[in-house]
Structure 1
Amino acid sequence: MTPTSTGSPTFTCLGGGHGLYQTLLSARAADAAWINAVVTVADDGGSSGRLRRELDIIPPGDLRMALAALTADTEEGHLWRSMLQHRFGGNGAMAGHAVGNLILAGLTDQQGDMQVALDTVARWTGSVGRVVPMCAEPLQIEADVAGLDDDPRVLRSVRGQVAVATTPGAVRRVRLLPESPRATQEAVDAILDADVVTIGPGSWFSSVIPHLLVPDIVDALNRTEATVTVILNLSPEAGETHGFTTERHIHVFGQHAPDLRVDYFLADNFVSPTEGERTHLRRAASGIGAEIVFRDVRESHTEGDGFNRHDPAKLAAALLELMDAR
């Protein structure tokens, strides 16, 4: 599968879970000529974790969600999107499994390669892009966490994506096991061939930062001619980033990838409304060679209150504006 030759930009979106899903919808809203999803592979919970342990495969859940976001805008494509996301209920052996996870697991078992399985499902669903794993092997996340001991200065190691995401302590730093894994060539090519690259939003330590711990990914991000934009979360997440300010999110990003340079951090207008707060954020972003910009990107309803979710159309407009400005 190759992108079409049009004047529209190619988007490559890095992340995982619901944050990546919304970003892929925004790439569609931007009328992208082609969309690549580069997806984390460290999930160890739920259906994905069970299939990972039982079949020794890359966890399929985040990959499935990205496939669902890219299905054709037709009646059949909408049916596929619903089917990929459908979960079995009850209390039996199938309970909790998503249909898309099982399809990907079966195709991988039959064809011996997750990328082949992903491309096969993309053809079936009339996908408007390609989903590629960040790495070709399942990874583990390990975190240094404070607050799990009587002495708050003591750091304890917590291993596993679910454990990191739900820890009652304060995450200080994360790493991947094995360390410095190789990226897939498809992921590297997707970054190098893009016009727009997005990182985030999403679970900061378990969906966003893992990309920064893969040397090939960092190298590709530094070499690409694309506009690289980090989409900041609308609010801290319970668990791994509880109590984090927007400035803290930027600092943690830089600490995990000190050699990485990006073009923009994109924040919602209401994240830091005062000029004093924005001055601190500009200083934090400049430490990564970036500029921070503030736009209205939050989804809202008729009463005018905001949802804690990015609006695809608003986000698309902001990303295209930044691409044109650069």
Structure 2
Amino acid sequence: MSALSTPLRAPGVGGSRGPAVVALGGGHGLSASLQALRHVSDRLTAVVTVADDGGSSGRLREELGVLPPGDLRMALAALCDDSEWGRTWSELLQHRFASDGELDNHAMGNLLIVALWNMLGDTVTGLDWVGRLLGARGRVVPMASVPLVVEADVRRDAGHGPEHETVVGQSRVAVTDGRIDQLRLVPSDPPACPEAVAAVREADWVVLGPGSWYSSVLVHLLVPELSEALHTTTARRCVTLNLSAERGETQGLTATDHLEALHKHAPGLRVDAVLADPSAVEDVGELEQAAAAMGARLVMRQVRRGDGTPRHDALRLAAAFRDVFEGVYGDV
């Protein structure tokens, strides 16, 4: 038996601390959650969207028929600690080649992940090996076992393009203008990753968001078996709202609009806490009502970086998550 075929213990298991937490999302939003959550618990599982069809991920997906590795790579990089080892491997995963040839714009981490998948023939085992190499404080798994396509029905005001359009592909949905009415996945009933479903069922807390609201967060609720686990798990659920509306898919949406979009796509989902930064909330009373409609308490915390950019500060967000997990809901 080769070294790569021996059974792996998931990263972060053994001598662990903190609650069992599952974070769902993709891209920079999920990275922000994970960089904060690794200060709160070692018992982390990132469940990552696999619908990316652009850039390096899209090229590897099309050429090799694999899951798009980019969002998985970013989650692994976010789980590296702040030691010299962790920083070095995180930077290596994120490194992009610049050339006039086929390697141009490929991320090193994408190539490493796909190479392990080809060697091992198993997606989750390959990701576990990367996590082991990095010393990642947690585990990264895909939300589905097959590559997915995101479709969105978009409605626009008269004079601003087609009034009704179906936009196909995550990269296009993320930058679409207009109001998204409905999301779909192709295939519509994809097989969920078994490890993702098991992690949700065994979690103490499930965290949704922040991130690209439609193309990275809400898509998790469209994978039937994963959605069923999210609805029935005994874990408590925290929704983390974005610091601002993004250009494209959520342009012009308020914090309350984000929460109502979640409720529309998962009307039976109970939520325990909604975490928001005061600077991103237009109407606190309105948002409290929307949270209450889902069974949740609104928790207001300053989690934005001090430089004024719409990015989360990892330590501030970690402190906010700790308050949520410990039931410290009063405003501070």
TM-score class, shorter-chain normalisation, is over 0.9
Aligned-partner Cα distance in 1 for 2:158–2:50: 30
User: Structure 2 CA distance, aligned partners of 1:172 and 1:210?
Assistant: 13
**Structure 1, 211-220 or 249-258: larger mean CA deviation:** 211-220
Q: Is the 8 A contact 1:134 1:184 kept in 2?
A: yes
1:223 aligns with 2:254: no
Residue pairs, 1:179-194, within 5 angstroms: 179-194=188-203
For residues 255 and 115 of structure 1, the distance between their equivalents in structure 2, rounded to whole angstroms, comes to: 31
Counterpart selection for 2:205 from 196, 199, 205: 196
What is the one-letter code of the residue matched to 2:287?
L
1:291 matched residue in structure 2:
297
How far apart are the structure 1 equivalents of 2:251 and 2:279? Answer: 18
1:314 aligned onto 2:278: no
Aligned-residue offset at 1:286: 2.0
Change (3 A) 1:170 1:127: same
User: 2:117 aligned with 1:111, yes or no?
Assistant: no
Structure 1 residue identity aligned to 2:37? A
Shift of 1:139: 0.4
Shift of 1:90: 2.5
Structure 1 counterpart of 2:18 = 8
Shift of 1:74: 3.0
Structure 1 position 134 matched with structure 2 position 143: yes
Look up the match of 1:259: 268
Match of 1:58 among 47, 53, 67: 67
Return the alpha-carbon distance in structure 2 between the equivalents of residues 21 and 7 of structure 1.
Answer: 20
What percentage of residue pairs aligned between the two structures are identical? 47
Q: Distance in 2 between matches of 1:87 and 1:249?
A: 33
SS at match of 2:280: coil
Shift of 1:157: 0.7
Structure 2: distance between partners of 1:72 and 1:324: 23
SS of 2:311's equivalent?
strand
What residue is the counterpart of 2:187 in the other structure? 178
What is the CA-CA distance between 1:147 and the residue it aligns to? Answer: 2.4
The answer to whether the 8 Å contact 2:52/2:58 transfers is: yes
Contact 1:232 1:266 in 2 (8 A): yes
Correspondence 1:17 to 2:27: yes
Q: Does 1:325 align with 2:331?
A: no
Equivalent of 1:281 in 278, 287, 291: 287
Question: 2:50 touches 2:143 (CA, 8 Å); kept in 1?
Answer: yes
Structure 1 residues 242 and 94 mapped into 2: Cα distance closer, same or farther (>3 Å)? same
* Cα distance between partner residues in 2 of 1:174 and 1:224: 23
Say if 1:83 and 1:151 are closer, same or farther in 2 by CA, change over 3 A.
closer
Displacement of 1:168 after TM fit?
3.0
Contact 2:236 2:272 in 1 (8 A): yes
Aligned length: 318
Task: Find the aligned partners of 1:132 and 1:297 in 2 and give their Cα distance.
Answer: 26
How far off its partner does 1:83 sit? 0.5
* Segment drifting more, 66-75 vs 176-185: 66-75
Calculate the TM-score normalised by the size of structure 1: 0.92
Equivalences for residues 49-128 of structure 1 within 5 A: 49-128=58-137
In structure 2, the CA distance between the partners of 1:159 and 1:153, relative to structure 1 (3 Å rule), is: closer
1:27 aligns with 2:37: yes
Shifted more, 210-219 versus 97-106: the winner is 210-219
- Alpha-carbon distance between aligned partners in 2 of 1:272 and 1:151, rounded to the nearest angstrom: 27
Q: Choose from 167, 171, 192 the match for 1:158.
A: 167
Please report how far the alpha carbon of residue 245 of structure 1 lies from its aligned counterpart in structure 2 after TM superposition: 0.8
Q: Distance in 2 between matches of 1:154 and 1:307?
A: 33
- C-alpha distance in 2, partners of 1:95/1:166? 23
Check whether the contact 1:167–1:239 (CA below 8 A) recurs between aligned residues.
Answer: yes
Residue 242 of structure 2 corresponds to residue 237 of structure 1 = no
How far apart in 1 are the matches of 2:46 and 2:174?
22
* Preserved CA contact (<8 Å) 1:4 1:34: no
Q: TM-score, normalised by structure 2?
A: 0.91
Does structure 1 retain, via aligned residues, the 8 Å contact 2:142–2:196? yes
Shift of 1:71: 2.4
What are the Cα deviations for residues 47-102 of structure 1, in whole angstroms up to 9, with x where unaligned? 00000000001000000001111124432222111110000013321001000001
RMSD over aligned Cα atoms = 1.9
Unaligned runs of 5+ in 1: none
